[in-house]
Structure 1
């Protein structure tokens, strides 16, 4: 089973433009993420896939591998689908470009899902981490996920799910951690399936997989790190790096 990693990276970002080129302890955020992914030693190849010459040159100038997107893409999955079409692989791990604290343990967990799936019934695997702070649970920038009894994703939302109507029920809330593992066929399917209204409403791309009947196995982890979506996140990341 050949496993590769792709890191989709666009320069523009609505909440924090140019965030991937921000300085994090002497190196750019995207270079930190790339190096952390390579350091796991879990992949045959690691690529940054981008529409930005700035990011492309940043990775290439430091000895890394980068691919320039040919088309304009609305999502990271679309960008990866274009790049991976002619690459020989079985499993593709999507590591978000703003995840400089990417580590081996969490990535190994999603890879193990496919090693154990002898019948090839699982299309995707992803990570979730329990959150208890109500401010974070309510924050629309935090994507939440609910799962069934076998940890398959039922739905993702920016709203608190489930809604705590009965305060006496002990409810666990899970944040979706932005690492995906795909079978190559699943990511290629994604690129040709039109967006439906749930994905369009929530602006969460993995909902498309659910709307078309794909199975997403969620794996719980306790390692959270910092996803850099805002300038405040970058400051937290700098403190954590020290």
Structure 2
């Protein structure tokens, strides 16, 4: 089974413009997402974007890029357009604002396709805490006996009529995988009233009668929607021992590095592990002309 991890990324977020290029522990956020995707070792990783700045950043990581139009309203539609001519069996939709995604979650979301050759779509769920039940920013999911989604909602489902609630409550983790054939028809599925009301695109899939397998587990996820989220993501990343180039921290030595003219922190960052001591920008030393001092190199243990 050939698997592709697609990372849809756009620059024009209303709440956080330029989000994929925001610096997280000294590196553009999209670089962290690419690194996590590669760590899953599932297959090719491709960034789908409509913005040349994001494209340059991804290519600087050595990642394949496919350009798309700017009209797409969801990451799923962007991937469908970007990967239409790419031969593969399953496409994982990893949003470009998930720099802390666990590679095990990526592996888990593709497992149902091994068991069911006709399955169109899969996603993940984690245990929800009692305080999350009433939070509309935490999407809840209820499943049937086959482990397929019955409904997703921002409301508390199942509703705790007796005040105690259900024994199990599940929060949706916004990671999707599609069989390639289904991804190609996904954009043609008309939206539904429930999907518009909840602002949840996956409800259109259920509305049209397609099953969504839900893999349940203790999955951790933290999406970045605002600058405040970015600060929290950096705190979590550093607390877990990651900085600079992911887990590269063992030896740090000051080296003479080179950079090309004036470094643009949005596009000029390293695939070979160089980072400014200030951690405000990264760059690719292979493109350089004039020597500069004061950079750190991060090497693996």
| Equivalent residue pairs, number | 238
Contact 2:140 2:153 in 1 (8 A): yes
Partners in 2 of 1:16 and 1:175 — Cα distance? 24
Matched residues in 2 for 1:150 and 1:32: separation? 35
> 1 or 2, which has the higher helix percentage?
1
Unaligned runs of 5+ in 2: 239-301
5 Å matches for 1:94-113? 94-113=93-112
Q: Does 1:8 align with 2:16?
A: no
Tell me the equivalent position of 2:154.
158
* Counterpart mapping for 1:82-231 below 5 A: 82-117=81-116, 120-134=117-131, 136-231=132-227
Q: Who is 2:45 aligned against? A: 46
What is the TM-score normalised by the length of structure 1? 0.92
Q: CA RMSD in A?
A: 1.5
Give per-residue Cα distances to partners, 1:11-58, cap 9 Å, x unaligned.
122332322221111111111101110122111x11111111221111
Contact kept, 8 Å, 1:51 with 1:72, in 2: the verdict is: no
Q: Which runs of 4+ in 1 moved over 6 A?
A: none
* 2:228 is the counterpart of 1:232: yes
Does the CA-based 8 Å contact 2:222-2:233 persist in structure 1?
yes
Contact 1:190 1:208 in 2 (8 A): no
* Structure 1 portions without partners, runs of 5+: none
